[in-house]
Amino acid sequence: MLTPLSNYTMLKQTILLISSFVINLLGQSQEIRARLTVNVNKDKIPTTVDRKIFQTLQAGLTNFINNRKWTNDAFQPNEKIQCNFLLSINDVVGTNEYRATLTIQAARPAYNSTYQCPLINYMDETIVFRYVEFQPIEFNENRVQGNDPMVANLTAVFAYWVYIILGFDYDSFSLRGGDPYFIKAQNIVNNAPESSAISGWKNYENQRNRYWLAENINNNRFALFHDAIYLYYRNGMDLLFENEEEARNGVLNCLNYLSTINKENPNSMIMQFFFQGRSNEFVKIFSKAKKDVKDRALNHLLKLDVTNARIYNDLK
């Protein structure tokens, strides 16, 4: 019997070998291929701050994400998860201390195609950190807070999002395959750096932060969400270029599951997170569907993703 991990590995290798033409066999590679950009708000960051600091930070964070071994699995270069991180420096809050937002995007290929299915598209708006040029960019799972919480917060945030990305990627290939990485993200939340300036890690701060995403995705109340993710990708997007009707049924079943979750847990963080940046993809999936399928999908989408109701009206 295949274990969830071996099942994940076999499925992912099948999909990625077909969608890639070049395979580099020169050893085992890390799991993430991230393009990371540090952008400086010229109107908010004084000219007295040397811009070269942020170039050094960008190089250090890129090396941290792309060259760290995040799992125990072997990833060939063509299997790496494609990600984009945009760290926008918006304010100076102290000596070598900055406030920023982080935009995270990740995708994985649909079976037998070059189409990249979005996994994550989200902006984390609550990041503060201390950085001195050339300081080591380090992260220790067993000591998330490090020696200085303001220094440690930067790598804690990035490590958290890498594990969330890995969790969604593994879940999309194998049912509950992402659990180990969601648990690692939860561990970072539980041991996150603490300071009066740091936010995003606590349940009482607001209902849309890193705490609530990790809480929801690890909570048994949202167990059906993992089934929905698997249905969306394996029974939906991975079939779209071979059997459109069957693929639409898979995505529609995903929406049925999500509707059940939403009824039991209205206004949850995980639902808002899932629909971020997916509205156009849903419209493309169902635009050519039979009327009854299109109507059922529209009914779900208008209730689940109210923010994008205007976009979904194209399905009427």
Bridge partner residues of 295 (DSSP): none
pLDDT digits (tens, 9 = 90+) for 1-24: 444 555 555 565 555 554 443 333
**Stretch 223-241: mean pLDDT:** 97
> What local confidence, expressed as pLDDT, does residue 13 receive?
57
> What local confidence, expressed as pLDDT, does residue 179 receive?
98
Is residue 189's pLDDT more than 70?
yes
Task: Name every residue whose Cβ is closer than 8 Å to that of residue 282 and which is 6 or more positions away in sequence.
Answer: 251, 297, 301, 312
Dist CA 200 CA 212 (whole Å): 9
pLDDT digits (tens, 9 = 90+) for 127-177: 999 999 999 999 999 999 999 999 999 999 999 999 999 999 999 999 999
Q: For 95-133, b where at least 16 C-beta lie within 10 A, e where not — what string?
A: ebebbbbbbbbbbbbbbebeeebbbbbbebbbbbbbbee
> What local confidence, expressed as pLDDT, does residue 75 receive?
86
> What local confidence, expressed as pLDDT, does residue 79 receive?
81
* pLDDT interval class at 26 (50, 70, 90): very low
Contact assessment for residue 262 and residue 299, using Cβ atoms and an 8 Å cutoff: no
Dist CA 91 CA 314 (whole Å): 40
Q: Among 5-9, 74-78, 111-115, 233-237, which stretch is predicted with the lowest mean pLDDT?
A: 5-9
Dist CA 292 CA 285 (whole Å): 14
Percent of the chain with pLDDT over 70: 91
> What local confidence, expressed as pLDDT, does residue 20 receive?
44
Is residue 85's pLDDT more than 60?
yes
* pLDDT interval class at 197 (50, 70, 90): very high
* pLDDT interval class at 77 (50, 70, 90): confident
pLDDT digits (tens, 9 = 90+) for 203-228: 999 999 999 999 999 999 999 999 99
Residue written as token pair 């992260």: 139
Cα dihedral 94, 96, 97, 99 sign: positive
